[in-house]
């Protein structure tokens, strides 16, 4: 088996390099969507190209090679988290200056659980719901779920599914939603600007861009609040997910999920603990 695996690994690395090169060559593109702009990042192109190369379309990569590539996802995400860690420390004074309002608005990030969990249950999700609804599933959440449960677990499939959907449609959705709420004139532009910082650079750029287009007189203030909120969400998102969001989602699953939920989660937790060791 070893001689067969090596060519497959080289093939995977070559395809990844080619996808990255093509995606970076295309670059960042934007187009008008309602009052704002939708931004397409190279990551989106890479996802679409990878999907087309899979066994359901062009069949350049088979299922065995896809399984072989799975561990590399966790490795690449860990490198990204290390990069995040280098930016959080120097930004602590900025976070303190942001004020109580900017900190308290972080509570809104748990709205994903309240809104999405009932829908996940209605759609027939099982343990996938734990990974899918505990957050908006960006890179940091991939790393957390991968470390706690493994990305091949039901929780891993849940968070990965939301991550892909968010990458494909998140920027467009947030851009439209920000412009829509700005047009209603119910919330102050500063409040909407803070809401733009959900922990995703592409989503923040799309939503703050739409908000700036709707309220051009406050463009600088909107960008400042959105960036600070996004940085704060990225800084505390890991701790909020590990100590609050995931335990709360597991409790909801035990309480309101399928009958076998309690047993399934109970079995998953020791397994996650062993993997962590």
Render pLDDT for 34-90 as a digit per residue (tens, 0 to 9). 665 666 778 778 878 888 888 888 888 888 888 888 777 767 767 766 765 565 566
Residue 129 domain-assigned (yes or no): yes
Lowest mean pLDDT among 27-41, 103-117, 179-193: 27-41
Cα 129 to chain centroid, rounded: 15
| 69 Cβ contact list (under 8 Å, min separation 6) | 12, 61
In a domain, 50, yes or no: no
26: in domain = no
Query: Which residues touch 53 (CB under 8 Å, ≥6 apart)?
Result: 15, 19, 60, 61
Q: What is the pLDDT of residue 94?
A: 60
- pLDDT reading at 3 higher than 50: no
Do the domain assignments include residue 145?
Answer: yes
Give me the domain span that covers residue 176: 72-276
Is a pLDDT exceeding 50 seen at residue 1?
no
pLDDT one-digit tens code per residue, 122-151: 998 989 999 999 888 887 788 889 888 988
**Domain assignment present for 37:** no
For the whole model, what pTM was predicted?
A: 0.65
Residue whose token pair is 């900017």:
102
Q: Is 164 exposed, middle or buried (0-12, 13-18, 19+ CB in 10 A)?
A: middle
> What is the Cα–Cα distance from 47 to 181, expressed in whole angstroms?
30
Question: Is 118 a domain residue?
Answer: yes
Residues above pLDDT 70, as percent of the chain: 79
In a domain, 213, yes or no: yes
In a domain, 33, yes or no: no
Number of domains the chain is built from: 1
């Amino acid at each position: 088996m070893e001689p067969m695996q090596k060519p497959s690994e080289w093939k995977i690395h070559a395809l990844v390099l080619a996808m990255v090169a093509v995606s970076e060559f295309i670059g960042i593109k934007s187009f008008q969507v309602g009052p704002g702009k939708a931004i397409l990042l190279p990551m989106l192109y890479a996802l679409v190209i990878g999907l087309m190369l899979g066994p359901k379309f062009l069949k350049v990569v088979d299922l065995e090679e896809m399984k072989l590539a799975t561990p590399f996802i966790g490795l690449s995400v860990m490198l990204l988290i290390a990069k995040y860690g280098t930016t959080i420390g120097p930004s602590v004074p900025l976070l303190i200056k942001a004020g109580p309002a900017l900190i308290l608005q972080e509570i809104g990030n748990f709205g994903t659980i309240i809104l999405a969990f009932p829908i996940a249950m209605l759609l027939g999700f099982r343990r996938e719901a734990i990974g899918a609804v505990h957050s908006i599933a960006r890179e940091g959440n991939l790393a957390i779920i991968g470390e706690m449960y493994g990305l091949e677990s039901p929780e891993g499939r849940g968070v990965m599914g939301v991550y892909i959907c968010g990458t494909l449609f998140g920027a467009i959705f947030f851009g439209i939603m920000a412009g829509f709420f700005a047009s209603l004139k119910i919330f102050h532009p500063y409040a909407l600007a803070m809401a733009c910082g959900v922990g995703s650079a592409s989503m923040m750029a799309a939503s703050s861009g739409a908000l700036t287009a709707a309220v051009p007189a406050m463009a600088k203030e909107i960008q400042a609040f959105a960036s600070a909120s996004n940085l704060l969400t990225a800084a505390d998102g890991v701790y909020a997910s590990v100590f609050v969001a995931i335990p709360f989602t597991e409790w909801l699953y035990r309480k309101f999920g399928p009958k076998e939920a309690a047993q399934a989660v109970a079995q998953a937790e020791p397994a996650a603990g062993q993997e962590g060791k």
